[in-house]
Amino acid sequence: MSDLLRVIGLTKKFGDFTAVDGIDFSVARGEVLGFLGPNGAGKTTAMRMVTGFLPPTGGTAIVDGFDVRIHPIEVKRKVGYLPEGAPLYDDMTPSEFLTFVANVRNIDGADRDRAIDSAAGQINIQHVMHQPIGTLSKGYKRRVGIAQAILHNPDVLILDEPTDGLDPNQKHEVRNLINEMASDKVIVISTHILEEVDVVCSRAIVIANGTVVADGKPLELEARSSFHNAVSVRVSGATDSLADKLRALPMVGKVETSKIGDGKVSLTVFPSRPVNILEPVSECLRELSVTVEQIHVERGRMDEVFRNITTTTKS
């Protein structure tokens, strides 16, 4: 198998409670895997097992051929990990902290300086390298956490909510960084920000109650949404019968309307089958001489898909 990361039947029980219940997935070099799921789904627990910080109750993870239960040291060498909340030593400066991490990882001398310079440069923290971590803003603390995760240029990068609590600019920067690093690594990121999946992930896994309930490309997951291929349109000069006329079109299922003031109406026209109905809807609007201000075909709504998948599987 060429997959750099393989997770096989991974299970964790805390007493009688099963937090992770036999999950399986494989990730190839170049893939960025989104790890989604509601609070308590088991994402962090699974990540802690994959990175060798928590022993599994059953199953295992294999990183570049090394089984985490048998070769945890080799796995830790190949894996970079940003833990949830990115705990750091507040009294240390980033420079001291990264030196400490380099020492733990047995990176010495010139290699150590090079590794720290490279990680600090990639993550853009050079100007705060000598300021105590406790005095840095949340965004900079997170960057220091990511710098420690990439210090040894790992093949596999596991990032537990890397953009949690960051401002929009910082989120954007972290996402860019993930995209830049993606081509020669496996990156797994957990997130509650569903639009992040579109922007950075080539694939997403949804976990609920410790099991994998969906696994696919973002577009495939979005295609499960009732909004997939729906046409959303904002018009002015609409008559009351507009929705009925649209509903009467072949291949159209339901039509939802809402008035948005100024005589404008917003409509969502849903196809009755998974087909593109943009052409007949546009044609109908032209014939009725309504003014179309905006029109677009929906790809699907990840939040709806997420809700459906993660609430219907609850026991």
Ligand X SMILES: Nc1ncnc2c1ncn2[C@@H]1O[C@H](COP(=O)(O)OP(=O)(O)OP(=O)(O)O)[C@@H](O)[C@H]1O
**32 contacts 205 by C-beta, under 8 angstroms:** no
Judged by CB under 6 A, the residue of 9, 40, 55, 134 near ligand X is 40
Give the integer Cα–Cα distance in Å for 206 and 38: 9
Give the integer Cα–Cα distance in Å for 113 and 312: 51
Regarding 14 and contact with ligand X (CB under 6 A), the answer is yes
- What end-to-end distance do the CA atoms of the chain give, in Å? 35
Choose from Mg ion, ligand X, none: what does 37 bind? Cβ within 5-8 Å by kind.
Answer: ligand X
Residues 40-59 that bind Mg ion (CB under 5 A): 43-44
Q: Least distance in Å: CB of 56 to ligand X?
A: 13
Give the integer Cα–Cα distance in Å for 203 and 35: 9
Q: Least distance in Å: CB of 100 to ligand X?
A: 26
Regarding 163 and contact with Mg ion (CB under 5 A), the answer is no
Q: 47 or 187: whose CB is closer to ligand X?
A: 47
Q: 43 or 175: whose CB is closer to Mg ion?
A: 43
Judged by CB under 6 A, the residue of 10, 31, 42, 284 near ligand X is 42
Q: 44 or 60: whose CB is closer to ligand X?
A: 44
Judged by CB under 6 A, the residue of 4, 5, 7, 19 near ligand X is 19
Give the integer Cα–Cα distance in Å for 87 and 83: 7
Choose from ligand X, Mg ion, none: what does 52 bind? Cβ within 5-8 Å by kind.
Answer: none
**Residue 49 — left, alpha, or beta (φ > 0 → left; ψ -120 to 50 → alpha)?**
alpha
| E strand map for 131-283 | 156-160, 186-190, 203-208, 211-216, 231-236, 252-259, 264-271
Q: 107 or 189: whose CB is closer to Mg ion?
A: 189
- Half-sphere exposure of residue 272: CA atoms within 13 angstroms, side-chain side: 9
Judged by CB under 6 A, the residue of 44, 60, 99, 225 near ligand X is 44
Positions in the binding site for ligand X (CB under 6 A): 14, 19, 37, 39-45, 84
